[in-house]
Amino acid sequence: MTEPTHDETHGGALGERLNWLRAAVLGANDGIVSTAGLVVGVAGATDDRSALLTAGLAGLLAGSMSMAAGEYVSVSTQRDSEKAALALEKRELREQPEAELEELTGLLEERGLSREVAREAAEQLTARDALRAHARVELGIDPDQLTNPWHAAWASFLAFTAGALLPLLAMVLPPGGWRLAVTVVSVLAALVLTGWSSARLGAADPGRAMLRNVAGGALAMGVTYAAGALLGAAGV
């Protein structure tokens, strides 16, 4: 058998890094839009800096904790499923090794190898590490790189927080008459950047991604500002 190339060896790691980067960009995007909608909505009702800061911090903390908890639960479930699949595969290899060898041969044939080459490859992979071979070829799992729920939770928390800080600071730092304008411009510029980044990571069209991001953010801020202004005028 030929040795795997550098690209084949590290392709999985590269894909994993891209997935983490994409998740970080989307988490930051969520932080930007949700916090911007919150502080702009409050700004529609009042220009009190303390109220804006309190609302923004509450939204930042609630959103980041919610993102972290949701990601932890989701990735924990995925990890449990991966561990269960590996345990089942290990038992099948112990109880019916010939059937598992034939299954691995068939899977390699489906990838374009001839019957003879697939059988030889399956035998060599099984002799080297049967569980690893079946995990990668049959299940698409790397036993040494199971998903880590804590990593996912912290990444989501930090990404959301980083995104949320922008509209929060843009709303509370400038003078009163400039707050709304600075926030809107800053948020739309940030959404252009996150839209471009997510599109590039996913090899998609940046123009459409940026347009969707900006339109969604502008709509969120417009709706919440109108709601805040109505509540403020009603004295609620």
DSSP state string for 57-121: HHHHHHHHHHHHHHHHHHHHHHHHHHHHHHHHHHHHHHH-HHHHHHHHHHHHHHTT--HHHHHHH
Q: What is the pLDDT of residue 144?
A: 77
**Residue-range domain boundaries for the chain:** 13-233
Q: What is the pLDDT of residue 34?
A: 93
Contact between 156 and 67 under an 8 Å Cβ cutoff? The reply is yes
Residue whose C-alpha is closest to residue 93's, from 143, 27, 39: 143
Q: pTM value?
A: 0.76
- Helices marked H in 146-178: 149-172
Distance CA(229)–CA(222), nearest Å, equals: 10
Residue whose C-alpha is closest to residue 147's, from 23, 6, 26, 27: 23
Distances in whole angstroms, Cα of residue 227 to Cα of each of 54, 62, 90, 173: 18, 21, 58, 23
Residue whose C-alpha is closest to residue 180's, from 192, 171, 168: 171
Contact between 32 and 217 under an 8 Å Cβ cutoff? The reply is yes
Q: What is the pLDDT of residue 134?
A: 85
Ranges of residues in the chain whose predicted pLDDT is under 70:
1-20, 234-236
Q: What is the pLDDT of residue 39?
A: 94
Q: What is the pLDDT of residue 69?
A: 93
Q: What is the pLDDT of residue 92?
A: 87
73 φ/ψ angles, rounded to the nearest 5 degrees:
-65, -45
Distance CA(236)–CA(230), nearest Å, equals: 9
Q: What is the pLDDT of residue 135?
A: 84
Q: What is the pLDDT of residue 1?
A: 39
Q: What is the pLDDT of residue 7?
A: 43
Q: What is the pLDDT of residue 8?
A: 41
